[in-house]
């Protein structure tokens, strides 16, 4: 089954600083590209746990006794690593966002490239579909989702149009939604605008920012001191959260301080700025254009 070429693969693996006898976690298994690269670096005593809630990922599991796939959302990172008695681990890798495979499977409803049911669930057996969100949310909530998660400037009139249309007929297919937003779709940047609308819905359907926050909060609890956290994001909302958490250990405001002013932070950045793909990689893999890779090391020390 074809998924996608992992973006910044060498940089991700280098960032983990792999100990051949260590225990590692690939939070976004997908097609298994990162996992295979990690396994190549591990010795016979090394272990790799991977998370993926998408049933399609099962087809890519390597036949390797060092590997365990956990078919769960990575928000449950701590719970399942405790179950497998795998804490503490030496490194965690997360390649966020949707895989090319999920976009290419038109019937999943992620893509604007073909008509299908508006589903958009990464786990197609759980939670609300995009069609249900459009049918059940009130106008203000739909507008907020479009503006916050997709930076859609016409979020309010589009939300109003969605509510008006659903009173006449349900919005259940990709083409149904595209027809509603047609009035606001720019002539020459239509695909980008449509993608912003679909991105906003997808983030809401999968609770992506809430799940990312839960996962990041768990990482200091499961990583050993000196262990690495490697996270690659594809839109600014995710990247800001990752950057803030690495820098301050919290998602809003500044790190806690003791009476002497020392900051309590669980991570030290290994690289100060996000790593981005070079032009050659972007040329061969358009998904790399928006990728931002951040690497941090777990610390229990106070930082002045």
Query: What pLDDT, on a 0 to 100 scale, did the predictor assign at position 219?
Result: 97
Residue 3 lies in a domain: no
Share of the chain above pLDDT 90, in %: 73
What is the band of 286 on the pLDDT scale with cuts at 50, 70, 90?
confident
pLDDT at 73: 93
Cα gap 226→268, rounded to integer Å: 9
Here the CATH number for the domain that contains residue 246 is 3.40.50.150
The reply to whether 15 sits in an annotated binding site is: no
Which one-letter DSSP state was computed for residue 88?
Answer: S
- Is residue 61 within 8 A of residue 30, CB to CB? The reply is no
Among 205, 231, 261, residue at a domain's last position: 205
- Residue 295 pairs with which residues in a beta bridge? 230
Q: Could you count the other beta carbons within 10 Å of the beta carbon of residue 291?
A: 23
pLDDT at residue number 148: 95
- Confirm or deny that 102 is annotated as ligand binding: yes
277 and 224 in a single domain? The answer is yes
Give me the residues paired with residue 229 across strands: 92, 296
First vs last Cα of the chain: how many Å apart?
49
Handedness of CA 269, 12, 91, 211 (dihedral sign): positive
- Asked if the model's pLDDT at residue 4 lies above 80, the reply is no
The whole domain housing 82 covers 9-100+208-303
**CA 303 – CA 112 distance, rounded (Å):** 47
CA dist., res. 53 & res. 123, Å (int): 5
Neighbours of 92 (CB within 10 A): 26
Question: Is residue 114 part of an annotated ligand binding site?
Answer: no
Into how many domains does the chain fold?
2
Q: Is the pLDDT score of 302 beyond 50? A: no
pLDDT interval class at 190 (50, 70, 90): confident
**Among residues 155, 173, 205, which one ends one of the domains?**
205
The answer on whether 128 is annotated among ligand-binding residues is no
Can you give the length of the chain in residues? 304
The two structure tokens encoding residue 232: 């690659």
What is the Cα–Cα distance from 221 to 90, expressed in whole angstroms? 12
Predicted pLDDT of residue 303: 43
Same domain, 23 and 89: yes
Q: What average pLDDT does range 226-230 have in this prediction? A: 97
pLDDT band at 208 (very low <50, low <70, confident <90, very high): very high
Question: DSSP states of 254-271 as a string?
Answer: ---B-TT--EE-SEEESS
- Would the annotation count 74 as a binding residue? yes
pTM above 0.85, yes or no: yes
Residue 235, annotated as binding a ligand: no
Query: Taken in order 296, 103, 205, 152, is the CA torsion positive or negative?
Result: positive
Angle subtended by helix axes 190-205 and 174-181, to nearest 10: 120
33 annotated binding-site participant = yes
Same domain for 193 and 136: yes
Q: 159, 184, 205 — which closes off a domain?
A: 205
């Amino acid at each position: 089954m074809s998924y996608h070429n992992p973006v910044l693969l060498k940089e991700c693996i280098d960032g983990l600083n792999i100990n051949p006898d260590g225990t590692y976690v690939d939070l976004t298994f997908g097609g298994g590209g990162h996992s295979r690269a990690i396994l190549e670096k591990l010795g016979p005593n090394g272990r790799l746990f991977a998370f993926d809630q998408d049933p399609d990922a099962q087809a890519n599991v390597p036949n390797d006794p060092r590997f365990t796939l956990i078919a769960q959302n990575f928000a449950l990172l701590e719970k399942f690593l405790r179950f497998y008695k795998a804490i503490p681990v030496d490194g965690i890798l997360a390649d966020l966002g949707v895989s090319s495979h999920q976009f290419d499977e038109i019937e999943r409803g992620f893509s604007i490239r073909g008509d299908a049911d508006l589903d958009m669930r990464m786990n197609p057996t759980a939670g609300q579909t995009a069609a249900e969100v459009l049918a059940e949310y009130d106008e203000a909530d739909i507008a907020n989702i479009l503006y916050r998660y997709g930076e859609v400037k016409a979020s309010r009139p589009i939300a109003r149009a969605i509510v008006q249309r659903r009173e006449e007929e349900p919005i259940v297919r990709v083409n149904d939604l595209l027809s509603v937003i047609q009035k606001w779709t720019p002539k020459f940047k239509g695909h980008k605008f449509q993608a912003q609308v679909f991105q906003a819905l997808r983030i809401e359907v999968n609770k992506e920012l809430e799940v990312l926050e839960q996962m990041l909060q768990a990482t200091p609890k499961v990583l050993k001191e000196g262990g690495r956290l490697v996270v690659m994001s594809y839109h600014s909302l995710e990247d800001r959260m990752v950057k803030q958490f690495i820098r301050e250990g919290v998602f809003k405001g500044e790190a806690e301080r003791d009476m002497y002013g020392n900051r309590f932070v669980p991570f030290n950045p290994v690289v100060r700025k996000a790593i981005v793909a070079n032009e050659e990689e972007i040329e061969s893999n358009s998904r790399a254009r928006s990728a931002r890779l951040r690497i941090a090391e777990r610390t229990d020390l106070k930082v002045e």
